[in-house]
Amino acid sequence: NVSILRTAARLPEIISMNRVEQEPVLKIVQNEYPWMYLVFTVGLDGMNVARNDDRPLTDYSDRQYYKDVLAGKLLSWQTLIGRTSKDPALVLAVPIRSGDILVGIMAAAMTIDEISNHIATWRQGKTGFAFLIDEKGYVVAHPDKAYVAQRKNLNSHPLIDGFRKKGWLTTSAEFKTADGESAFGYVRSNNLGWALALQQKSQEAFEELN
């Protein structure tokens, strides 16, 4: 996903920051990567320049990915509630440069459901499940859809809290769930700071061993 955005951002049509020239490219990218429901460009003022879906241009100046790229980051991402989809979404953003000069931002939005389908459906026994959080602790995927819709922050989850205190090191630990039952969990992060956690009630997890 990042590679195609970076490739498109180098095309003369995109570098032009001209809506008429950009839109055909954006539509081609979306057609080849259909999980991206929105492929778009943003000007240095935060205003949408072009998009693949022919909808009205939108002001994205409040979005963190816009601020990050404007500040010099080569890649930014943000989980949020999409202004277009109205659903939880993941947005990836990369700079558009003309030579060494930043002229705009190339971005794509995809619904988190596409990611969640691979993670939130994982089960182990009756009580084992998986969830995914982003680098700030906000839920990306969880079997409880309300957690995703609310972008619930799970930094206070005992398993995640212990993981962060240990410096993001891969961790296995026993902890108490919200209902006071003992559970066993495993958590590790990827190189982007997102953390994948698995948990299961201890009684079930160790039933055969006991």
Q: For residue 114, what pLDDT is reported?
A: 65
Query: pTM higher than 0.75, yes or no?
Result: no
Using one digit for the tens of pLDDT, what is the confidence trace for 162-180? 888 888 788 899 999 888 8
Q: Which residue's structure tokens are 């089960």?
A: 123
What confidence score (pLDDT) does residue 105 get? 98
Q: What pLDDT, in 10s, does the model give residues 133-160? A: 988 899 888 898 888 878 899 999 999 9
Query: What are 144's two structure tokens?
Result: 């409880």
DSSP conformation letters of 122-141: -EETTTEEEEEE-TTSBEEE
Q: 104 near 17, Cβ under 8 Å?
A: yes
